[in-house]
Chains A and B, each alone.
Chain A
Amino acid sequence: MQLEDPTPKLYGLLAEFDSATAIVTAAHQAREAGYVKVDAYTPFPIHELDAALRLPRTKLPWIVLGGGVTGLLAGLALQYWASAIEYPMNVGGRPYASWPAFVVPAYETTILFASITAVVAMILLNGLPQPYHPLFNVPTFSNASADRFFLSIEAADPKFELGATRQFLQGLKPVGVSDVVD
């Protein structure tokens, strides 16, 4: 791919801001202006960005519920199968499927499965691990994890036009605008 196309490909434009308020305003205006492939990068979660960027609500809770239910059923099934089918043992005349005793391990497997699902699904839905991203080519972007706030508009956006988009971003009064090269 690199061999066929020696000129660097443009991923998009990145504007840098120095406050939480500025990034929320900028994100809002970018969406208002009709840009779709817009994302904000911040050193801490800013809840106002969800509305400003019109982000969909994540499906994560439903996936975690699925993980929890799976854990519950798996825990009960394991205990029933081990205690009543595979290795039945008479303990003081109690039934083999002595479900009150099975509640505790099943409770734990529910939490275990749901927690693992929450972490793995969060990471995978976020497309991580992703060691390389074009944004990391912008030297100042390293401050996105400390004290700066960034707004990107991707070149893949239907409304993207290098000159016009750069001008639009400059109009948002950022600290600076950089080209993001892939």
Chain B
Amino acid sequence: MADRHQPALESHAEAHPSGMARTHSDVVGPGHSFGSITDKIASAVLRPGFLPGWLVGFVIAFAVMSMFLLAISWLLIKGTGIWGVNVPVGWGFAIVNFVWWIGIGHAGTLISAILLLFRQKWRMSISRFAEAMTIFAVMCAAIFPVFHTGRPWLAAYWLFPYPNTMGLWPQFRSPLIWDVFAVSTYATVSVLFWYVGLIPDLATTRDRAQNIWVKRIYGVFALGWRGSAMHWQRYEVASLLLAGLATPLVLSVHTVVSFDFAVSVIPGWHATIFPPYFVAGAIYSGFAMVLTLAIPIRAYYGLEDFITMRHIQNMAKVMLATGLIVVYGYSVEAFMGWYSANRYETFMISNRMFGNYWYMYWFLILCNGVTPQLLWFKKVRTNVGLLFVLSLVVNTGMWLERFVIVVTSLSRDFLPSSWSMYAGTRWDWMTYIGTLGLFTWLLFLFLRFVPMISMFEMRTIIPSAKVKKPEGAH
């Protein structure tokens, strides 16, 4: 199936750098009609039974998620002492994983909101599952700070402003509270945006379902959508407004996450470069994760017509660009360590590079700085297998980056008498790997029960969607 359209895709890959002569054919395979797009995408949801590959993946993901549940149960019984956190490294894996997961989520919003504002048609086929990825990543992210509080059932009163019998209110001057507002708003808006995008496709699923119960369930979620012209007008305005709102939101989320660090006075954290550097890193890791997911999904479900080489290449380019910004961030950190002439800053950077965690730092530079330079080559950008490996390398690199930021600074603070080393325990690792299981498990559910590509948006980009100038009307 893939061979049939390969030549057409290749020819479009870089043929129109001006963007002037672009046609539909590079964002959707040739020869598609409204019906064929609908059939192809809806069949993954409406087919009876389960695909064997899906079932195997689902079971494995479920097993890994069970490990997460086990680790969290033990944590609640014993307390955070089972984790590797100590004094002075109070922010261990929990914060590393929180920042890593929330960063991954950013690509979904970037694709669905920012690229919508820029009217990038290549966003359409990947936006749905990138948004799903965002929601699941934010869910995984939120788990860590919540359990890091030790007793999450007591954490509510100082995290959320609600009247309580103690008469206490959150400290609004703290970046940690800003983070609560930013992340919970981000989660809510991501879910809303995703759901609004789904409404017309849920109606399609409802209309095509044979089983009465399947029809009813999708019917409930489709809200009775019937595609009326006035409804579409309001729908599109709402989508555009949501995109306009989600754009500043997504930039603010990782900015606020970086404030958790930058507003403190710890050397290596107290830097003005943090907000842009964190946002770029978030998009970098997010696009890496979209590639990690898109490449196997595309192959397994035979979606090469919808997720074309153009999509894959564009994502690789975004990864390269944001990766360079991240490398710039590392350079500025190193430069400021020297230029500040502050002994703590100078020590911080030399400790990062040559201290106890030197291998983490250089492995991070290898993953995030050196390896992605391969993306300059078109041969690499069009090699799907290699891109998949590269996306995993970048994901690893971004995790290491957060580890280096959190742990090296804390383990060597101002007083040598309080210095201490940090390492994750097996419970830390079980929780972290467990959230990967949770993420994958949710993703498998999504692939089975929700149309994974926006059908109505895909319909708009094939040639017959264009209204030919009718005589009489204008």
Q: Which residue of B lies closest to A112 (CB)?
A: B185
Known interface pairs A111-B245, A123-B223; A24-B470 also in contact (CB < 8 Å): yes
Check A41–B237 contact: CB distance below 8 A. no
Shortest beta-carbon distance from A79 to chain B in Å: 5
Could you tell me how many residues of chain B have their Cβ less than 8 Å away from some Cβ of chain A? 70
Check A115–B233 contact: CB distance below 8 A. no
Check A145–B200 contact: CB distance below 8 A. yes
Task: Report how far A146 CA is from B249 CA in the complex, Å.
Answer: 33
Which residues of chain B come closer than 8 Å to A64, judged between CB atoms? 241
Shortest beta-carbon distance from B250 to chain A in Å: 10
Interface check A43, CB cutoff 8 A: yes
Which of B256, B460, B465, B474 is in CB contact (< 8 Å) with A104?
Answer: B256
Which residues of chain A come closer than 8 Å to B256, judged between CB atoms? 104
Which residues of chain A come closer than 8 Å to B185, judged between CB atoms? 108-109, 111-112
Interface check B363, CB cutoff 8 A: no
Could you tell me how many residues of chain A have their Cβ less than 8 Å away from some Cβ of chain B? 74
Check A118–B238 contact: CB distance below 8 A. yes
Q: Which residue of B lies closest to A46 (CB)?
A: B467
Check B229–A144 contact: CB distance below 8 A. no
Contact digits for A102-130, partner B, Cβ 8 Å, 1 yes 0 no: 10110111011011101101110110111
Check B473–A104 contact: CB distance below 8 A. no
The majority secondary structure among interface residues of chain B is helix
Interface check A98, CB cutoff 8 A: yes
Contact digits for B210-224, partner A, Cβ 8 Å, 1 yes 0 no: 000000000110011
Check A87–B464 contact: CB distance below 8 A. no
- Which of A1-9, A135-143, A159-167 is near enough to bind chain B? A135-143
Which of A114, A119, A145 is in CB contact (< 8 Å) with B227?
Answer: A145
Q: Which residue of A lies closest to B182 (CB)?
A: A108
> Which residues does B use to contact A, with CB under 8 Å?
33-35, 38, 161, 167-173, 175, 177-178, 181-182, 185, 188-189, 192-193, 195-196, 200, 203-204, 206-208, 219-220, 223-238, 241-242, 245-246, 248-249, 252, 256, 259, 456-457, 459-460, 464-468, 470, 472-474
17 A-B pairs in the complex with CB atoms less than 8 angstroms apart: A39-B230, A41-B227, A41-B228, A42-B227, A43-B38, A43-B227, A43-B456, A83-B169, A83-B173, A87-B168, A101-B172, A111-B246, A111-B252, A119-B242, A128-B223, A131-B224, A146-B38
**9 closest Cβ pairs, A-B complex:** A147-B34, A122-B238, A142-B207, A82-B169, A129-B223, A130-B224, A28-B473, A45-B232, A25-B470
